[in-house]
């Protein structure tokens, strides 16, 4: 059996967004699962809007996400070049073939004429399309205009009275009437091919067996099928994956918050979490478990479980998934991931002053509270800020047992080198005080941090160290005693 080969073909007219990343990911998952190949092709024929910086950002985003390709930009391969603007002679060859065979023709209409036609069709309530004015020009007429220096576009002659059918692997059988489609441009007057033409030539020459892309390209598919037919190319399979909607059920856009992958990276999302989250935008795993690593997703991925209905982007779900992936990290991994954020934090100096052991305790103490890596700063305040007691903490500190408990605590507090030891010590205090655990933990936490919630108490104490812990408790006792 022929090896499957998919492609991701972004236009470098902006950064990689959630939608593009999802298309790239599904192609990657499919290729990985099938043991196939994947091409990265850059579709940069819109010269005005395409920028090399965007191409670089797209590639950086794909790499960060953990998507790899076997052939294409950044990798090379035997079907290159992989940037469309570097393939112009290839397209010109096929455009000439279509012109020679009468399947395409030169169009000399000006933008103004085309616009006028468009408006008049709209006024009549008809679908705006090209009505074929230049399709009847004689060879002599065409030659005369070319000799006079006109720079025509090239239009494809759409066959009449035909139905084009695609058996889409996600959407099923979809048919299109050719009559609703006007003769369309395949090469602009500057010689550059249009998307619908170049995409076919490239998919064929690059040996693509499955074209998987966003649903918004479904309406382009009949035009592409016509080109396959006209050039007698074998067709690949097609799979159109559904739109991604915002929580308000509108198409995803900037209004729905950060959308470029790089922005998510900057906000402290893990690539594994985004990989996991994107995979669930339109696909569902066999089991109940939704927190999955890339290997698990690849193993389970199939087009049969890709849904036809639109996917909804749910930020709470992304946050939840990110939190779960943070929890799965080892302490060393998490420490390395947090390093850049710690270095830039207002507490950088204090963090630097911690020895390895205490740094480890601190990270262990906050890990369960992190939704994003950037939350680390918010979590560090409790260790380093000069705090004000919160209302609830003040209430706790009014308990009749409080002075007794705090005093017992200060009497024998050990060296605070090991959270297990401190934990055992607090249990002793509970025993000696004959209080319920809560009546000891809450005042201690309130006295030490000014809050009633926060990181594990023994870890907090070990990060602060014996001296600072005692200072805080003394300070609280003085406050209580007026
Ligand atoms: N360059 C097109 C895009 O970015 C690719 C469409 C396709 O995959 O055919 O939308």
The answer to whether residue 369 is domain-embedded is no
Pairing of strands 210-214, 5-8: unpaired
Q: How many domains, in total, are found in the chain?
A: 2
CA of 280 to the centre of ligand 1 (A): 21
CA angle 134, 136, 139 (to 5 degrees): 95
The answer to whether residue 330 is domain-embedded is no
224, 241, 258 - which closes a domain: 241
CA of 10 to the centre of ligand 1 (A): 5
The answer to whether residue 366 is domain-embedded is no
Q: Nearest to residue 169, comparing CAs of 34, 19, 10, 345?
A: 34
The answer to whether residue 22 is domain-embedded is no
To test the pocket of ligand 1, the residue of 11, 222, 239 to mutate (highest count of ligand atoms within 8 Å of its CB) is 11
Atom of ligand 1 nearest to the CA of 20: 4
The answer to whether residue 343 is domain-embedded is no
Residue 206 CA to residue 143 CA, distance in Å, equals: 35
The answer to whether residue 247 is domain-embedded is no
Q: Nearest to residue 382, comparing CAs of 362, 410, 398?
A: 362
CA of 256 to the centre of ligand 1 (A): 22
221, 241, 261 - which closes a domain: 241
Supply the pLDDT for residue 1.
64
Atom of ligand 1 nearest to the CA of 10: 4
Q: Is 436 a catalytic residue?
A: no
Residue 337 CA to residue 333 CA, distance in Å, equals: 6
One pLDDT digit (tens) per residue for the chain, 482 residues: 678 999 999 999 999 999 999 999 999 999 999 999 999 999 999 999 999 999 999 999 999 999 999 999 999 999 999 999 999 999 999 999 999 999 999 999 999 999 999 999 999 998 899 999 999 999 999 999 999 999 999 999 999 999 999 999 999 999 999 998 999 999 999 999 999 999 999 999 999 999 999 999 999 999 999 999 999 999 999 999 999 998 888 887 777 776 799 999 999 999 999 999 999 999 999 999 999 999 999 999 999 999 999 999 999 999 999 999 999 999 999 999 999 999 999 999 999 999 999 999 999 989 989 999 999 988 898 898 877 899 999 999 999 999 999 999 999 999 999 999 999 999 999 999 999 999 999 999 999 999 999 888 999 999 999 999 999 999 999 999 88
The answer to whether residue 110 is domain-embedded is yes
Answer for the pair 424, 412: CB distance below 8 angstroms, yes or no.
Answer: no
Q: How many CB atoms lie within 10 A of CB 294?
A: 19
Q: Nearest to residue 453, comparing CAs of 401, 373, 396?
A: 396
Residue 362 CA to residue 347 CA, distance in Å, equals: 13
- Sheet containing strand 185-187, edge to edge, reads 104-107, 153-156, 185-187
For ligand 1, residues with CB inside 6 Å are 9-11, 43, 199, 213, 217
| Structural domain boundaries enclosing 459 | 391-481
* pTM exceeds 0.85, yes or no: yes
CATH classification of the domain holding 407: 1.10.10.350
Q: Compute, in degrees rounded to 10, the torsion defined by CA atoms 421, 426, 427, 433.
A: 150
Instruction: Say which of 2, 123, 254, 434 is annotated catalytic.
Output: 254
Structure tokens at 9: 């073909």
206, 241, 276 - which closes a domain: 241
The answer to whether residue 355 is domain-embedded is no
CA of 346 to the centre of ligand 1 (A): 44
Answer for the pair 191, 92: CB distance below 8 angstroms, yes or no.
Answer: yes
Q: How many CB atoms lie within 10 A of CB 139?
A: 7
CATH classification of the domain holding 217: 3.40.50.620
């Amino acid at each position: 059996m022929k090896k499957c080969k998919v492609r991701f073909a972004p236009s470098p007219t902006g950064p990689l967004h959630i939608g593009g990343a999802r298309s790239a990911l599904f192609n990657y998952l499919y290729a990985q699962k099938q043991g196939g190949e994947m091409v990265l092709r850059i579709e940069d024929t819109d010269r005005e809007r395409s920028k090399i910086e965007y191409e670089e950002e797209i590639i950086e985003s794909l790499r960060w996400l953990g998507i790899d390709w076997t052939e294409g930009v950044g990798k090379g391969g035997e079907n290159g070049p992989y940037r469309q603007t570097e393939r112009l002679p290839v397209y010109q060859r096929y455009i000439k073939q279509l012109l020679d065979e009468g399947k395409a023709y030169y169009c000399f209409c000006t933008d103004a004429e085309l616009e006028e036609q468009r408006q008049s069709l709209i006024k009549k309530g008809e679908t705006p399309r090209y009505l074929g004015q230049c399709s009847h020009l004689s060879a002599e007429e065409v030659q005369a205009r070319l000799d006079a220096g006109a720079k025509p576009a090239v239009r494809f002659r759409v066959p009449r009275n035909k139905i084009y059918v695609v058996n889409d692997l996600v959407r099923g059988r979809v048919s299109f009437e050719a009559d609703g489609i006007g003769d369309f441009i395949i090469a602009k007057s500057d010689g550059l091919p249009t998307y619908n033409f170049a995409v076919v030539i490239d998919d064929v020459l690059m040996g693509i067996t499955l074209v998987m892309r966003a649903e918004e390209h479904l309406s382009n598919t009949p035009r592409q099928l016509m080109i396959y037919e006209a050039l007698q190319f074998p067709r690949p399979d097609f799979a159109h994956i559904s739109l991604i909607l915002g929580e308000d059920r509108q198409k995803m856009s900037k209004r729905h918050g950060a959308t470029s992958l790089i922005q998510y990276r900057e906000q402290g999302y893990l690539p594994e979490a985004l990989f996991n989250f994107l995979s669930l935008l339109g696909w569902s795993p066999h089991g109940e478990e939704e927190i999955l690593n890339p290997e698990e997703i690849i193993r389970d991925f199939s087009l049969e479980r890709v849904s036809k209905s639109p996917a909804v982007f749910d930020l709470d779900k992304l946050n939840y998934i990110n939190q779960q992936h943070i929890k799965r990290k080892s302490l060393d991994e998490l420490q390395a991931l947090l390093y850049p954020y710690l270095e830039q934090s207002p507490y950088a100096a204090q963090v630097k002053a911690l020895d390895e052991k205490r740094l480890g305790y601190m990270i262990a103490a906050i890990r369960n509270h992190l939704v994003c890596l950037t939350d680390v700063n918010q979590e560090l305040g409790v260790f380093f800020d000069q705090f004000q007691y919160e209302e609830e903490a003040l209430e706790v500190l009014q308990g009749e047992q409080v002075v007794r408990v705090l005093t017992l605590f200060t009497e024998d507090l050990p060296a605070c080198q090991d959270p297990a030891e401190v934990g055992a010590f607090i249990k002793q205090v509970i025993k000696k005080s004959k209080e319920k655990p809560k009546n000891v933990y809450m005042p201690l936490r309130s006295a030490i941090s000014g809050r009633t919630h926060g990181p594990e108490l023994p870890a907090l104490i070990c990060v602060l160290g014996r001296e600072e812990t005692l200072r805080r408790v003394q300070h609280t006792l003085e406050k209580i005693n007026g």
